[in-house]
Structure 1
Amino acid sequence: MTEQPEPTVQATSYEVSLLPEGDVNRLVFTLKVEYRGDGRWAVVRHRQCVNAAGEWSWESVPSEREDEWLAAHRFDLETALKLAKEHAPKVMVNGMTALSVYRRTHPAP
């Protein structure tokens, strides 16, 4: 009988949001940091990725991504999480930022 190898477990996605867990608005104001292979991560929202300069662009299908685009939109995990945290307050839905929604729904005591 051949021994079965141990399954691998790997985290491949993080949610980053200014709004706390349980907030009804959290889902639409959330960014994702997703693993893209080779130790590289992307900050994504609605099929767009952010680059180090803070610019968003559409993420094409893998076969159409050029090396230059990949270099600008892929990061180590620490950098990707930092970028996502920087952009989380700025996520905009229906003309409102995550920060304005947070302040509106979680007033200071």
Structure 2
Amino acid sequence: MADVPEATCLPVRYEVSILPEGDINRHVFNIDVEYRGAGRWAVTRHGSCLGADGTWDFGIKEYDRGDDWLNSHRFDLDTALRLAREHAPHIVVNGETALDAYRRTHPET
């Protein structure tokens, strides 16, 4: 019987939000930082991808984007997490920002 290679594990996704874990609204205001291979990470949210210029572009499929687009929408991990943290308070859902939702649901802080 042939040897079976050992399974490996790779962390591939971070969830970024200003709302605390367990907050009922967190899932609608979160941003994902997802590994795309070769040390490059994407900052995504509901089918959109954050670019280096700070704008969200709809569509995150690498196969329908050119190298220029990919280079402006893929980052090293530290940069991707920094961008996600910077944008997290400003995510808007139904006219309310994540910061508005945080202040409404956590008035004591």
Pairwise same-fold verdict (TM > 0.5): yes
Residue 102 (structure 2) aligns with: 102
Residue 48 (structure 1) aligns with: 48
* Residue 28 of structure 2 corresponds to residue 28 of structure 1: yes
Q: Alignment partner of 1:63: what SS?
A: helix
- How many aligned positions are there? 109
Q: Distance in 1 between matches of 2:34 and 2:61?
A: 15
Deviation at 1:61, TM superposition (A): 3.2
Percent identical residues: 58
Q: 2:30 touches 2:88 (CA, 8 Å); kept in 1?
A: yes
Residue 8 (structure 1) aligns with: 8
Distance 1:9 1:33, change over 3 A: same
Deviation at 1:60, TM superposition (A): 4.9
Distance 1:105 1:60, change over 3 A: closer
Structure 1 runs of 4+ aligned residues shifted over 4 Å read none
Residue 38 (structure 1) aligns with: 38
Query: Aligned partner of 1:11: which letter?
Result: P
Over residues 24-80 of structure 1, what are the superposed CA-to-partner deviations in whole Å (9 max), with x where a residue is unaligned? Answer: 000000000001111100000011111122111012533211000000000011100
Range 95-104 or range 56-65, more displaced = 56-65
Q: Distance in 2 between matches of 1:61 and 1:31?
A: 17
Deviation at 1:108, TM superposition (A): 3.0
Residue 91 (structure 2) aligns with: 91
5+ residue gaps, structure 2: none
Q: Alignment partner of 2:70: what SS?
A: helix
Distance 1:23 1:60, change over 3 A: closer
* TM-score, length basis structure 1: 0.94
Q: Distance in 2 between matches of 1:50 and 1:64?
A: 16
**RMSD between superposed Cα atoms in Å:** 1.2
